[in-house]
Structure 1
Amino acid sequence: MRKRKVQRDISNRRKNVIILLLGTLIAIGPFSIDTYLPAFKQIAGDFGVETSAIGLTLTTYFIGIGLGQLAYGPLMDKYGRRKPLIVGLTLYILMSILCGIAWNLWSLAFFRFFMALGGCAGMVASKAVVRDYFDKDKVADVLSTLMLIMGVAPIIAPTVGGFIITTFHWEVVFFSLAGFAAFMLFNVVYVLPESAEPNRSTSLHPKRVAREYWSIYKNKDFFLFSTTRGFAIGALLAYVASAPFVFIEYFEMSEDMFGYIFGGNAAGLILGSQLNRLFLRRFTTFQITFTIAILMAILTMGITIYSFWIAPQFWVIYPGLFTMLFFIGFQNPNVTALSLQPFNLQAGSASALVGAVSMIFGSIASTLVAQLLTDSIMPLLSIVTFCSIAGCIAVVYYKVQYGRGYAFAKAYYHHPHRIKQRQEAA
């Protein structure tokens, strides 16, 4: 099998430009979600449905992201990163325009599905390009930088969306997203170099693709860490899907105040991802992952128990959700890096699969919370607690199964089992 030629002979300055571009590509996902959240009531009014029914457009978007990433993985291994990315951004632009002219809830949900299929190309390509350009022990650090750029999106997106729907109308939100994607497409074409030589031996036959994904998924490292990431993203997307109900309806806040509240919580995600970079200089990726998993489980259990016995109160719920997102800021880049470590030639497919697993978990969590939220926020708290505990169990199982104490974690990358896996993957 021909080895993939990775282009590493670029300057540090050019790498910084590439990191900025990759972070913006990843940000298309959250920006596509958060910008139109303040418009839920306006869209529901125009379509003559309940506000909660607009949650269907979130669910179809999450499903589209999950399925789309599975398709882009082998495509980017076979044809390189740029060509599938250009096709995906073009599809995203077209579907964003169609979302702006949607005539009912079902048409909007349908177009949002294909909008996600296009947008998720940036999510797959970004992680794969990072894996192409940077050494394995630097991947988590670079992903944390991408999280900083991506984290700006949920801070400013609701504010931008709120301004658009008050000044214009909700359709302009989707036209604006199309314009943003067109700008990114220009940068991809003229700025982003190809980071991987096309691997023509990669098969696109469904059975071969399914077998390749299965071979990746049954890798113990990938299975446990992608599952941990899936539960973390499940908690995150359950919060995103329920945020308009929690703050606008349950705590009776204005749409403008919702933008500040939502953005403030997103700042916690950014803060965690950037502190993670500092912690990685002193601790291993697994050490941080293990500690954060335990703290997140304790936090969410505490909030849920308190709200069950006393009552859900804003001064408890808001700081609690902020801290949960702060922990996810640590967890997301670390478990992503740990999931991708065993793979070289399959980096594109592994990147796609880890994203798809996360979106599957996220789709289930967001759908459940949308169906269960009526007049209480306890369903949200129960779901994020379950996700946190389940993710903690996966990490603890890994530690117990494959090593005792942090001595193993310190030698993680150089463990003979990992070395053998990397040799086989190469």
Structure 2
Amino acid sequence: MRIYIFKFVKTFRSFRMDTTKSRSSFLIFILGTLTALGPFSIDMYLPGFPAIAKDLGVRDTEVGLSLSSYFVGIAAGQILYGPLLDRFGRKRPLYIGLAVYILASIGCMLSHSLNSLVILRFVQAVGSCAATVAAVAMVRDIFPVKDNARVFALLMLVVGASPMLAPTIGGYVSAGIGWHYIFAILGGMGILTLIASIWWLPSSYRPDLTLSLKPLPILKNFWLVLREPQFFTYAFTGAIAFAGLFVYVSGSSHVLMQVYHLTDKQFGWIFAFLSVGLIGANQLNNVALRFYTSQQVVPMALLVQSLSGLALLVLALNGWLSLPVLIVLLFIYLSGIGFTNPNAAALSLAPFERNAGSASAMMGALQMGCGALASLVVSLFHSTSAVPMTATMCASGILALVILLIGRRQIAGPVLAGQASGVLH
């Protein structure tokens, strides 16, 4: 009898463990989908730039302003949602943001001028960033600090579907039925994401009703986050390194389709292939973390990013950058970002519990702000070469590495493996 009881208990425990793992995987998938909404909104309409430019009567580089406005909207929106997520919990602000996103997507679909598209893309971004900030904060709420880098890497596996699928889908939609319908698809994605959030996401955080939404207390709260040495070192490092990805996203359609004369469908397939470097590096990061710490991985990844960016610039300046070489070096560059991003994010958020929403918002705002500035720089050039894109990508990697080497000297005892800063609880 005891043997049967023992076997029953063992089987029950095994079932509970399997159920817990399945539930965690499902939650990571939903959080990844939330995080992917913004990138999907960026990547899907890139192949449609020439069609949008022709339809609206502008240059394709000017269409890039709608991409820059999207980045600005995400940066501004994350600052807005951070305090709201800490004050009212994660779900209510998320629902409002997704509703704004859906309405703005419909507006983009109906746009007939560049100005209206630029403005509505800004509004769409403000709505989508609620999903990003909530997802990042919920990772910090639900999972142990020591597992955050691994979870962020798994989120990137879901997010990685964006650069693999979105440009390819966008290229076929733009060529087949018109670029307007790209935004119809994005609106439909927003509706499905909202339904999934309502039905399956847990209430992971008890609202802190003591937090004030007045400007001065909010600014003080952000300052409390920003003054943490570990946060500002890794948040700025990650944001500037990540700006290289935004430069690539903003400039790749012009470089590949205008300089190298690829079609929108060819661009979609190459963009999808290059995303393998970013996604693969994110997943290899889990293996690397078995042998190295996040602090060790970040500088090595930045070195790879800086050297590949420098090679891109030198070859572009001398006219030696053939299409195959460009693709190989971009693959290596994006792989460096794939290692940098999850580790820098985990190290940035590690000191926080009570302020996790504000910290997540500040980190996201820095990322998008740097990305918006870098992509704007590329959009302002009307060059017929790859030099503006490669120069900005090179500067992104080198500057991030310099900031890391200087900033980490100010960190006393990095918060890892479940530790947290007592001041910010």
Same fold (TM over 0.5): yes
Aligned-pair CA distance for 1:310: 4.8
1:252 corresponds to 2:252: no
Kindly provide the CA deviation profile for residues 158-186 of structure 1, in whole angstroms up to 9, marking residues without a partner as x. Answer: 11111212221111111111111101100
1:323 alignment partner in structure 2:
332
1:152 pairs with 146, 161, 177, which one? Answer: 161
> What does residue range 410-425 of structure 1 map to in structure 2 within 5 Å?
412-413=414-415, 422-425=421-424
2:395 pairs with 363, 383, 386, which one? Answer: 386
2:57 alignment partner in structure 1:
48
Q: Distance in 1 between matches of 2:321 and 2:184?
A: 38
Q: Distance in 2 between matches of 1:413 and 1:305?
A: 39
1:219 alignment partner in structure 2:
228
TM-score (norm 1): 0.92
Q: Distance in 2 between matches of 1:401 and 1:44?
A: 48
* Bigger radius of gyration among the two: 2
1:304 alignment partner in structure 2:
313
Q: Distance in 2 between matches of 1:72 and 1:162?
A: 32
1:182 corresponds to 2:191: yes
Aligned-pair CA distance for 1:399: 4.4
Read off the aligned partner of 2:65 and give its amino acid letter: L
Kindly provide the CA deviation profile for residues 347-368 of structure 1, in whole angstroms up to 9, marking residues without a partner as x. Answer: 0000010000011100000000
Q: Deviation above 3 Å: which 4+ runs of structure 1?
A: 398-403, 411-415
Q: Distance in 1 between matches of 2:263 and 2:49?
A: 13
Q: Is the 8 A contact 1:99 1:174 kept in 2?
A: yes
1:276 corresponds to 2:267: no
For residues 327 and 378 of structure 1, do their structure 2 counterparts lie closer, same or farther at Cα, with a shift above 3 Å needed?
Answer: same
2:178 alignment partner in structure 1:
169
For residues 414 and 274 of structure 1, do their structure 2 counterparts lie closer, same or farther at Cα, with a shift above 3 Å needed?
Answer: closer
Kindly provide the CA deviation profile for residues 141-174 of structure 1, in whole angstroms up to 9, marking residues without a partner as x. Answer: 0000000100111111011111212221111111
Aligned residues: 407
> What does residue range 334-345 of structure 1 map to in structure 2 within 5 Å?
334-345=343-354
Identify unmatched segments of 5+ residues in structure 2. 1-18
2:276 alignment partner in structure 1:
267
1:5 alignment partner in structure 2:
none
1:208 pairs with 210, 217, 227, which one? Answer: 217
For residues 163 and 310 of structure 1, do their structure 2 counterparts lie closer, same or farther at Cα, with a shift above 3 Å needed?
Answer: closer
1:38 alignment partner in structure 2:
47
Read off the aligned partner of 2:307 and give its amino acid letter: I
Q: Distance in 1 between matches of 2:318 and 2:178?
A: 42
Kindly provide the CA deviation profile for residues 200-228 of structure 1, in whole angstroms up to 9, marking residues without a partner as x. Answer: 01111111111111121121111111111
For residues 423 and 109 of structure 1, do their structure 2 counterparts lie closer, same or farther at Cα, with a shift above 3 Å needed?
Answer: same
For residues 380 and 414 of structure 1, do their structure 2 counterparts lie closer, same or farther at Cα, with a shift above 3 Å needed?
Answer: closer
Secondary structure at 2:255 match in 1: helix
For residues 310 and 37 of structure 1, do their structure 2 counterparts lie closer, same or farther at Cα, with a shift above 3 Å needed?
Answer: closer
Q: Is the 8 A contact 2:67 2:250 kept in 1?
A: yes
Aligned-pair CA distance for 1:135: 1.1
Q: Is the 8 A contact 1:293 1:395 kept in 2?
A: no
Aligned-pair CA distance for 1:377: 1.1
TM-score (norm 2): 0.93
Q: Distance in 2 between matches of 1:424 and 1:239?
A: 39
Aligned-pair CA distance for 1:308: 2.3
1:368 corresponds to 2:377: yes
Q: Distance in 2 between matches of 1:414 and 1:364?
A: 31
Kindly provide the CA deviation profile for residues 404-423 of structure 1, in whole angstroms up to 9, marking residues without a partner as x. Answer: xxxxxxx74469xx96x611
Aligned-pair CA distance for 1:373: 4.2
1:293 corresponds to 2:292: no
Q: Distance in 2 between matches of 1:55 and 1:27?
A: 20
Q: Distance in 2 between matches of 1:52 and 1:414?
A: 43
Q: Is the 8 A contact 2:246 2:374 kept in 1?
A: yes
Q: Is the 8 A contact 1:373 1:380 kept in 2?
A: no
1:359 alignment partner in structure 2:
368
Read off the aligned partner of 1:232 and give its amino acid letter: A
Secondary structure at 2:421 match in 1: helix
Kindly provide the CA deviation profile for residues 262-321 of structure 1, in whole angstroms up to 9, marking residues without a partner as x. Answer: 111111110010000111111111110121112221221223223323532222211111
